[in-house]
Chains A and B, each alone.
Chain A
Amino acid sequence: MANIAAKRIKREFKEVMKSEEVAGGTIKLELVHDSWTELQGEIAGPPDTPYEGGTFLLEIKVPETYPFNPPKIRFMTKIWHPNVSSVTGAICLDILKDQWAAALTLRTVLLSIQALLSAAEPNDPQDAVVAKQYREDIQLFNLTARHWTNVYAGGPTAIWEFNQKVQVLLDMGIDEDQARVALSTFDWELERATEHLFS
C-alpha cells in the first residue's frame, strides 16, 4: 500500500477514535486483518427513520491512491433504501464518486452515509425498484424499510404480516432473502411475488 495512504489512514483512525460520534456510539470504525487497506464501519440508524434502532455494517476498501481517490464503501447489512442496492449493498452517493475531495475523511463519509439514511434522494437512485416504491407509496416503503431493519440490522419493530408472508414462501422452498426481496418488490402482494419467483 502506498505510503501516503497508509499514513493517512493511521492518522484518521486515531482521530476518529477520539471523536464524539464514536463516544456517543453513532459510528464505529474497526480494522480488518490489521492491514489499513480494509476497514469495517458501523453506523446507527438515525432516530425518526425506519432504520432507527438498527446497526448497519459497512465494508470499506481503501485504494492505493487514497486520499486522491475515494474509499470504496458498501453496505454489508442488507438495507431497503432508494440509494442503496437491495442486492449488493452498493451505495449511490456523490462524494463517493465525482464529488470526492481529498479533505474528506472516513469519519465525514460515514456521517454522510448516515445522513443519507435520514434524507434519501429518490431522484438519483441506486435501486430503481426501491426508489419507485419510495415515490409512489411512502407508507409501504417505510414499513418495508422497518421490516428489513428488524430482520437484518437488529431493529426493534417486527412486522407480523410481512413475516407471515415470508414464511409462506419459505414453506414453498424459496430462499429467505430471495423471498423477502420478491415480496418487497411486489408491494407485499403474495400472488405477484410467487408468480415472479416461479416464472
Chain B
Amino acid sequence: MAGYFEEMGWRELEDGEQPDHLLHMARFIFEFGFNEDFNAREWPKLPPPASQETVKNLPETTIESDGKSCPICLKKFNIGEKVTEMPCNHQYHTTCISIWLNTTNSCPFCRYELPTDDEVYEQFKRNKKRSEQKQEDLAVLHNSMFS
C-alpha cells in the first residue's frame, strides 16, 4: 500500500491528524478526470485571496489627471497622489485594494484575476480553461465537418 500512496503523491495521516475531505475530493475529481460536470459549474464560493507576493509587487503610479476616484471608497484622487495599479490598469488607494485582495483575488471593477496561493483553486482554474479549450476545439472540428 505504501508504494501506491507514494506513487500517487499521497501520504498516510499522522497520529490524530484529520483528513482534509474537501481537498481529497477535489484531487480525486481532478486527477481521475471525472471533472466535466464539476468544471461546467462555477467556483461555489468567493474565490480565495490574491497571492501575497503578487499584491506586494503591484506597481505604484502617480495620478496625473483630475476627476478619477477610487472605486472602493469612492473618494476622489488628488493630482500627484500615489496609488496602486492593477494589471488591468484600474487604480486604487493602496490600503483599499490591499484589504479587498486579502478577501478575494479579482479587480473589484472588472474582475481581472490575480494568481492565488490556493492550490485547489488554481487547479480548478486550469481545468476550467482546459475544458473551455476543448469545447472550442470541438466546435472548430464540428464546423469544419459540417460547413
Residues of A within 8 A of B (CB): 4, 7-8, 11-12, 15, 67-69, 98, 100-105
Contacts and interface: CB of A to CB of B under 8 A. Distances in A.
A12 B69 CA distance: 12
A107 B95 CA distance: 24
B100 A11 contact: no
Contacts, number: 38
Of A8, A15, A69, A105, the most chain B CB neighbours within 10 A belong to: A8
Contact of A98 (B44, B99, B100): B44
B45 A68 contact: no
Interface size class of B (residues with CB under 8 A): 10 to 19
Of B45, B71, B106, the most chain A CB neighbours within 10 A belong to: B71
Helix, strand, loop or mixed for chain B's interface?
Answer: loop
A155 B75 CA distance: 40
Interface string B47-76: 000000000000000000000000111110
B71 A103 contact: yes
B46 A98 contact: yes
Given A101-B106, A101-B111, A103-B108, A11 B44 contact: no
Contacts of B109: 101, 103
Nearest to A105: B74
A7 B96 CA distance: 13
16 contacts: A4-B73, A7-B73, A7-B75, A8-B73, A15-B74, A67-B73, A98-B43, A98-B45, A101-B106, A101-B108, A101-B111, A102-B71, A102-B100, A103-B108, A104-B108, A105-B74
